[in-house]
Chain A
Amino acid sequence: MNTGENSMSLLKLENVGYRYDSGNKILNGLDYTFEKGKMYAVTGKSGAGKTTLLSLISGLASPTEGSILFEGKDIKTIDRYHYRSRYVGVVFQQFNLLPHLNAVENVTLSMRASGKKFPDRQKRAMDMLSKVDLDENIVRRRILKLSGGEQQRVAIARALSYDPSIILADEPTGNLDLNTQKDIVDIFKRMAKDEGKCVIIVTHSPEVAKESDEIYELAPFSGKAAALG
């Protein structure tokens, strides 16, 4: 089967389905592959299960059907904390930053959690933050005192900071003006093209989707779709 270096995809979803404990089934029969060096867009209506899909890929939840393979291994069988802290960078829809820390501290915390060695952690964190257009004054402020767009950019800087091979972003441009949105998309694109990352972006924006190499349209699960009409 797929044994060669080229043919083995970084991430592979095999017939993935997900049903919440409460019983409603959100995802069904997904067969997606994600390669290094490419940017993917995941689109779909609100409530289609995009965030749920990212939770499965990042190992925060386990698929109730099928399996997700990372470098050929089912992520059920690997240490998912280790996997998340080193190989996956997530920009959460709700950011999930620590409100009492400032931007730099939030970034360096993730860098330390990854267990990877960086020659100058502070400097790298600052570089990442200035890449997303946050100045010195903002990055020393507690997260609580930042605007939604600023928080979103801190979350992006955090996801990139520890050099993960997969970058997951849940509507990373939702709170940004068009110019900043374009800058951010450029950053993600360069991550894929120049650094060989696998970038997966959930978005409602056609402009963002247009920039990606491939688009996965997440159709609402049929049972639910029928109900919706």
Chain B
Amino acid sequence: MFVIQNALKSIARSKGRNILIGIIVLAIAISSCVALAIKNAAAESEAAGLSAVKISGSIAVDRQKLLEAVSSSAGTDEDGSMDMGSMQEIMAQYPDLALDELLGYADSDFVEDFHYSETVSLSGTDDFVAYGAEEAAEAATGDEGNMRTGGFGGGQFGGEPVPIFGNNGMSMGDFSITGYSSESAMTEFVSGAAKITEGELFDMDSSDLSCLISEELAAINGLAIGDSFSLSNPSNEDEIYTFAVTGIYAGGDTGETGGGPQFSTAQDPANLICISYPAAASIVSNSESVGTSVTDIQGYERSSALSGQLAATFVFDNKADYDSFAEELGERGLSDYYTLSSSDISSYEASLVPLENLSGFATTLLLIVLAIGAVILIVVNIFNIRERKYEVGVLTAIGIKKGKVAMQFVTELLCVTLIAVILGAGIGAAISVPISNQLLASQIEQMQTQSQEQNQNFGRPGDFSQDEGPVQSGNGSFPGTIMLNAARTDAGYIDQINATVSPAILGELIGIGLLLTLLSSLAAVVFVLRYEPLKILANRT
């Protein structure tokens, strides 16, 4: 009580000194408050972002890892170059997982849903042509240079379909026929990007060749609900499949993914034909049974049978389940060369980059402010205490213990500091949201300028980054519910944070205030404890 009373009286007496200290602490408190609010908001966005959101993931061979393993093993020649034979051999040991293996893993308690699709590529027939086929043909004949892209996809050459080979030597047709295991596998329809406008969905469990076609295909081929059309195996014109149209859809992926040049009409979303998984499976098994040996344009012997591309997706309730499942895969004996990955997670992580940068900046700012603040406060306090030397002498001479005198000085500083910290928290709370968003905006701008420059270096148009961003659209369905605490730019960056001052931050600030006070008054305490009253009084002139 005695100490506190003296401290308060002393504060009131020396206003100038205390206002100076107050202003210093206020500046420290405001900047610390903003920095803490930013750090906190960034951490919250990171933590909250994926914790309560469904995540889809898939298992794939980790080629990078495999490559590393091959190059570090005996697979290198004496000149250091890769031995392609052994490379392919090892690659062959780790094929994409088959459906029944995937189904086995999907049994896991962590997996909320599992869906898959199989895509085969078929060619048009006289009565059914692909959307955009003429343009592709024109491009192919008009520009000789384009011919070289043939290795990647299909096209028409001189009006006749020419089998062109994909990555695995498989021939590509003009159409993608995708068989879905369930409605949830039809992500475009789930997200609302695509919509059935006429007719209805085919029977998911039936292997009948009933299908949904796009409005564009229906229009150019003059098809209506109930009509049917035929497609053929690109490698075997006589292998014909006839499909019945049960529905027509609009929308779908509008082909802007990546914005790059299109290599094949089959990649045009308008040429996507949706069927059930059993139907797709029946096409593949039928094709296998009738397959013959053919020679491709590169002179290799191979089967004419169609092969399907399996795409399987595991859906998890939240990030924790996703992580647990990834762990479980290893426990269940899946080789390290297969990894579970999720575009939801990678795109979310990419969207956090500016926020993380900002958070790092905030941490640096906080440390610098605290260091400078502490030094200033210590210096100011040492000057103060020298001025108050005589006071210390008198107080101790009239019998007040040194500890109490030191306590009084610390209390004085503490009161001033606390008031300044609380004031600073108030001001900080008011300005932390606009300031942090401003900082975030400049951070994003900087990143966009960077990627823009990068694009220009690669000879791509500069403004590319605007639609591309760091988020590869992939399956395109980034869950909108993620933004609990944050909003995102077109480029997918989080550009709004809710940098509010919570009680926790207030607590941290008060902690910082206490720490600074104790640190800077240490000088005062040492001084008071070291001197004898007699000496102080004797030295006075």
Chain A positions near chain B (C-beta within 8 angstroms): 55, 60-61, 81-86, 88, 90, 92, 94, 96-100, 105, 109-110, 112-114, 158
Contacts and interface: CB of A to CB of B under 8 A. Distances in A.
B399 A96 contact: no
B534 A82 contact: no
Contacts of A98: 391, 394-395
Contact of A81 (B400, B534, B540): B400
Contacts of B540: 94
Interface of B: 2, 5-6, 9, 13-14, 390-391, 393-402, 532-534, 537, 540
Contacts of A113: 2, 395, 398-400
B396 A97 contact: no
A60 B533 contact: yes
Contacts of B533: 60
Contacts of A81: 396, 399-402
B177 to A, nearest CB: 94
Nearest to A60: B534
Given A84-B399, A85-B400, A94-B540, 17 more contacts: A60-B533, A60-B534, A61-B534, A81-B396, A81-B399, A82-B399, A85-B398, A85-B399, A90-B398, A92-B397, A94-B537, A96-B394, A105-B9, A112-B5, A113-B398, A113-B400, A158-B398
6 contacts: A81-B401, A85-B399, A96-B397, A98-B394, A100-B13, A114-B399
Nearest to A158: B398
Nearest to A52: B534
Most buried by B among A85, A99, A105: A85
A19 B9 CA distance: 39
Q: Across chains A and B, which 9 residue pairs bring their CB atoms closest together, nearest first? A: A85-B399, A84-B399, A60-B534, A81-B401, A113-B400, A110-B398, A96-B394, A81-B399, A61-B534
A138 to B, nearest CB: 20
Contacts of A100: 13-14
A159 to B, nearest CB: 9
A97 B534 CA distance: 14
A98 B405 CA distance: 14
A73 to B, nearest CB: 17
A47 B402 CA distance: 30
A55 B396 CA distance: 13
B interface secondary structure, majority: helix
Nearest to A83: B399
A196 to B, nearest CB: 21
Contacts of A82: 399
A84 B398 contact: yes
B124 to A, nearest CB: 100
B534 A86 contact: no
Contacts of A99: 390
Contacts of B532: 60-61
A96 B537 contact: yes
B534 A55 contact: yes
Given A94-B540, A96-B393, A98-B391, A109 B398 contact: yes
A55 B399 CA distance: 13
A85 B395 CA distance: 10
A97 B391 CA distance: 9
A140 to B, nearest CB: 15
B449 to A, nearest CB: 59
B534 A90 contact: no
Contacts of A109: 6, 398
Contacts of A92: 397, 537
Nearest to A58: B397
B532 to A, nearest CB: 8
Most buried by B among A88, A94, A110, A113: A113
A92 B540 CA distance: 13
A178 B479 CA distance: 97
Contacts of A110: 398-399
A151 B394 CA distance: 14
Contacts of A90: 397-398
A97 B399 contact: no
Contacts of A114: 399
Nearest to B397: A96
Contacts of B391: 98
A163 to B, nearest CB: 14
A112 B2 contact: yes
Contacts of B9: 105
Nearest to A96: B394
A83 B397 CA distance: 11
A82 B390 CA distance: 20
B106 to A, nearest CB: 79
Contacts of A105: 9
Contacts of B402: 81
Contacts of A83: 399
B223 to A, nearest CB: 99
A53 B540 CA distance: 19
Contacts of B397: 60, 84, 90, 92, 96
Contacts of B13: 100
Nearest to A115: B2
Contacts of B2: 112-113
Nearest to B402: A81
B394 A97 contact: yes
A110 B399 CA distance: 8
Contacts of B401: 81
B395 to A, nearest CB: 8
A92 B402 CA distance: 20
A86 B400 CA distance: 10
A86 B399 CA distance: 8
A94 B5 CA distance: 27
B464 to A, nearest CB: 71
A142 to B, nearest CB: 10
Contacts of A85: 398-400
Nearest to A20: B538
A54 to B, nearest CB: 11
B167 to A, nearest CB: 88
A111 B390 CA distance: 20
